[in-house]
């Protein structure tokens, strides 16, 4: 099979920090080529170069064995390269069709906007049914779940004519069933002749779906091999340089305490079609337990987390009671943080971190209300700096050259570690973790999980909302399944994986 895309000797640094030092990768027509590595290994940077977003400092880019140079994603698209980013690039208030129209090639002859839009909608329906996606082209992006948004991204690059498809951590946000469906779709595209680069850190996906895999570590590519000729242990060793034992479910060391959080009949107002995002959520969470809330994304998980955190949103009926504090409904978000509710939201740069502000400021905002950093009229900058440095070390946040650097410069996994450092810095009574290991590598996920277990063992109640069933089964003492805005079923551990999977897709 001839090479579709080849990158050789790529170097790239950001403000003097070398993200890529020596990277070589090639993808052939008709194959799924996995790019495997930890957070910050340089996978996304390398693929951003292939997609024309970054210009390399050295090295060559070849498409069909011809050297090319991209001044931007548009050039890459001309060479039929399309990338689906981990953080989607969609205009949220626009409809699916309008988003796809933005990148679609211009029509051969003049069309009115209405005609063009209808044509695009037709194309979307055709392509979607070809791929087995269920997408309404006239829906607005912000009305879609994350999994649906990802499908829109895939449709977008395909309808823009891409034949070399780069997917950055595509399964990070999907349920088991959705992920395997997506990867089968992707495999089908490769069989039909496309070249697919699958950026991932999931060994299982690599083993099952990739024809070849290139492993990256610390900004270089360390090996390219066939996954069927390597064991998972080999791959783990190549990615992390040492092997990490994967942990199974560990029951709590201590027995669970009294009910810490009780949610009763929580519902949001009905839409004109009579649908409620939250439709009577009832759940009880005890001190000293991890309650895992599994479910396909977009079934109200985000709204439930928002309601508990006290984010501005739709007014809800029902009650949210925290032990010792009564109903939280009238309590402001700031007060809720003050009574020990820690939150690790799914949307890292939308809710957890201000990318434009420094690492130290993002760390300090978690504890500044307690007065630890001085009274209202004076911030103790020295203490903020030393605390942040200490937390950065303790939580192993990589890529922090100075705590005054912008948080946006951290890679996804390291940004998440910074959030953890802040949220677990003050011993919380209730931890709200929404997809906490989304986009994180093996090592970072293991650290996140260890922190959640430690919080439970020290008596906190942990609500783990995750679309990754493996994660839920590994961590949770009890498992609930959320569908259509309510808890559809609860399972005690050890839980039957099949039964949970069934409950997730049942829409009874």
Region binding other proteins by CB under 8 A among candidate stretches 85-93, 167-175, 317-325, 348-356: 348-356
Applying CB under 8 A, does 58 fall inside the site for other proteins? yes
Q: Is 315 in the site for other proteins (CB under 8 A)?
A: no
CB of 406 to other proteins, least distance (A): 6
Q: Which is nearer to other proteins, 272 or 312 (CB)?
A: 312
Question: Shortest approach of other proteins to residue 66 CB, angstroms?
Answer: 5
C-alpha closest to that of 196 among 205, 134, 38: 205
351 binds other proteins (CB under 8 A): yes
**Dihedral angle over CA of 74, 52, 347, 454, nearest 10:** 160
Q: How far apart are CA 347 and CA 426, in angstroms?
A: 21
The DSSP secondary structure of 45-67, one letter per residue, reads HHHHHHTTSS--SEEEEEETTEE
Please report whether residue 11 would count as binding other proteins according to CB under 8 A.
yes
Tokens matching residue 279? 């439709």
For position 223 contacting other proteins by CB under 8 A, the verdict is no
Which of 1, 55, 233, 454 forms a contact with other proteins (CB under 8 A)? 55
**What burial letters (b/e) apply to 456-491, b meaning 16+ CB within 10 Å?**
beeebbbbbbbbbbebbbbbbbbbbbbbbbbbbbbb
Q: Which of residues 113-152 bind other proteins (CB under 8 A)?
A: none
Binding of other proteins by 386 (CB under 8 A): no
At closest approach, how far in Å is the CB of 338 from other proteins?
A: 7
Sign of CA dihedral 320, 325, 331, 337: negative
Q: How far is the CB of 373 from other proteins (least distance, A)?
A: 7
Helix (H, G, I), strand (E, B) or coil at 318: strand
Nearer to other proteins, 257 or 340 (CB): 340
CB 419, min distance to other proteins, A: 10
Q: List the structure tokens of 160.
A: 């823009």
Does 57 engage in binding with other proteins (CB under 8 A)? yes
* 3-class DSSP assignment, residue 106: coil
The verdict on 338 binding other proteins (CB under 8 A) reads: yes
Check: CB of residue 103 under 8 Å from CB of residue 160: yes
Spell out, one character per residue from 12 to 51, where the chain touches other proteins: x when CB under 8 A holds, - when not. Answer: -xxx------------------------------------
Instruction: Give CA–CA dist 107/73, Å, rounded.
Output: 20
Pure H helices in 96-210: 96-103, 113-131, 146-159, 176-191, 203-209
Using CB under 8 A, which of 132, 241, 356, 382 touches other proteins?
356
Q: Is 361 in the site for other proteins (CB under 8 A)?
A: yes
Distance of CA 39 to the CA centre of its chain: 12
Q: Which of 114, 248, 377, 492 binds other proteins (CB under 8 A)?
A: 377
Hey, which residues does 223 pair with through a beta bridge? 215
Which residues contribute to the site for other proteins (CB under 8 A)?
11, 13-15, 54-58, 60, 65-72, 309, 311-312, 332-338, 343, 345, 349-357, 361, 364-366, 368-369, 373-379, 405-406, 408-409
């Amino acid at each position: 099979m001839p090479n579709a895309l080849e990158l050789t000797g790529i170097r790239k640094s950001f403000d003097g920090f070398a993200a890529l030092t020596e990277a070589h990768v090639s993808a052939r027509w008709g194959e799924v080529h996995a790019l495997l590595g930890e957070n910050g290994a340089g996978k996304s940077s390398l693929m951003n170069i292939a997609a024309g977003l970054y210009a390399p400092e050295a090295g060559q880019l070849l498409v069909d064995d011809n050297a090319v140079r991209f001044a931007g994603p548009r050039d890459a698209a001309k060479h039929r390269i399309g990338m689906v980013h981990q953080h989607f690039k969609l205009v949220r208030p626009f409809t699916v069709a309008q988003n796809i129209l933005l990148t679609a090639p211009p029509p051969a002859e003049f069309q009115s906007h209405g005609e063009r839009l209808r044509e695009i909608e037709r194309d979307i329906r055709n392509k979607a049914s070809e791929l087995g996606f269920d997408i309404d082209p006239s829906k607005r992006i912000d009305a879609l779940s994350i999994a649906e948004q990802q499908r829109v991204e895939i449709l977008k690059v395909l309808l823009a004519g891409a034949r070399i498809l780069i997917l950055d951590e595509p399964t990070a946000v999907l349920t088991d069933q959705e992920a395997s469906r997506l990867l089968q779709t992707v495999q089908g595209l490769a069989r039909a002749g496309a070249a697919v680069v699958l950026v991932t850190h999931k060994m299982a996906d690599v083993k099952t779906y990739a024809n070849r895999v290139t492993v990256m570590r610390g900004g270089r590519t360390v090996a390219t091999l066939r996954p069927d000729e390597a064991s998972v242990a080999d791959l783990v060793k190549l990615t992390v340089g040492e092997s990490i034992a994967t942990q199974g479910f560990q029951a709590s060391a201590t027995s669970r305490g009294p009910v810490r959080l009780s949610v009763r009949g929580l519902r949001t107002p009905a839409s004109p079609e009579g649908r409620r995002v939250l439709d009577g959520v009832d759940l009880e969470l005890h001190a000293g337990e991890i309650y895992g809330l599994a479910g396909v994304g977009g079934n109200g998980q985000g709204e439930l987390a928002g309601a508990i955190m006290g984010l501005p949103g739709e007014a809800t009926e029902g009650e949210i009671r925290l032990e010792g504090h009564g109903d939280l409904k009238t309590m402001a978000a700031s007060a809720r943080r003050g009574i020990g509710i820690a939150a690790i939201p799914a949307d890292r740069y939308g809710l957890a971190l201000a990318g434009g502000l420094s690492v130290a400021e993002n760390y300090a905002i978690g504890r500044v209300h307690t007065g630890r950093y001085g009274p209202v009229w004076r911030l103790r900058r020295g203490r903020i700096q030393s605390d942040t440095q200490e937390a950065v070390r303790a939580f192993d946040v990589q890529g922090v050259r100075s705590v005054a650097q912008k948080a946006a410069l951290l890679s996804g996994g390291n940004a998440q570690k910074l959030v953890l450092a802040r949220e677990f810095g003050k011993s919380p009574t209730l931890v709200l973790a929404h997809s906490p290991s989304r986009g994180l590598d093996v090592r970072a996920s293991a650290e996140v999980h260890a922190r959640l277990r430690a919080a439970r063992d020290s008596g906190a109640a942990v609500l783990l909302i995750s679309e990754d069933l493996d994660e839920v089964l590994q961590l949770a003492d009890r498992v609930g399944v959320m569908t259509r805005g309510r808890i559809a079923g609860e399972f005690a551990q050890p839980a039957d994986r099949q039964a949970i999977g069934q409950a997730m897709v049942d829409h009874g």
